[in-house]
Every structure is written in structure tokens, then in C-alpha cells.
Amino acid sequence: MPNTKKTSGANVEKYMLRTEELRKATEHVANLTKQDAITRWGESGGKQTLGAKQARDSKAAAEELRHLNHELKTRRRAKLREFYMEQEEVYEKELNEMGLAFVKARV
């Protein structure tokens, strides 16, 4: 006949093992919940930081573009002034060759 007699305290030992399993599972769930909260916090902070960085970069680009436009206008005016002076000299020379005078404003 097989030994069917249960040892004393087997049910208590089984209960203790099950309790330990549940404790470990609960601890694992708590760790996962904590990691999830940290991850969500990190992601939300990253989005805010990224938005602020994009705003700063956009503002800096607009400021740089404004300065470049100002410099372009200044250079363009200088080149046009130089061109018109050269054209005036050529025109004056042509008139002098034809025996005509070029009238200049008196200051």
C-alpha cells in the first residue's frame, strides 16, 4: 500500500509558500507601477523641453533672418549708390565728348 498519510504541517508549509509567491508578485507589480510613473514623467518633461527648445530655436532663427535682411539691404544700397555714381561718370564723359555740359547741383 502506498503511503497516503499526510505529514504534519504540510498545509501550513503550502500556505507559507503561496503567501511568499503573492508577496513577490505584489512587490513586482509595485516596481512596475513605479517604473511606469517615472517613464511617464520623463516623457512629459521631454515634450515640454522639446517645445521650449523649438520655440527658442525659432526665435533665434527669426532674429538672425532679421539681421541678415538688414545687412542685405545695406549692401544693396551701397552697391546701387556705387553703380549710379559710375553711370553718372560715364554719362558726364559722354556729354563732355559731345561738347555738352553736365549740370551738377550747387551746394
* Count of residues in the chain: 107
CB-based contacts of 92: which residues, under 8 Å, 6+ apart? 102
| pTM, entire model | 0.45
pLDDT of residue 29: 96
Residue 97 pLDDT greater than 80, yes or no: yes
DSSP single-letter state for residue 100: -
Q: Band of the pLDDT at 78, cuts 50, 70, 90?
A: very high
Tell me the DSSP string of 56-96: HHHHHHHHHHHHHHHHHHHHHHHHHHHHHHHHHHHHHHHHH
Q: Take residue 99 and report the three cell numbers written for it.
A: 561738347
Read off the pLDDT of each residue in 23-39 and give the average, rounded to a whole number. Answer: 94
Read off the pLDDT of each residue in 12-40 and give the average, rounded to a whole number. Answer: 94
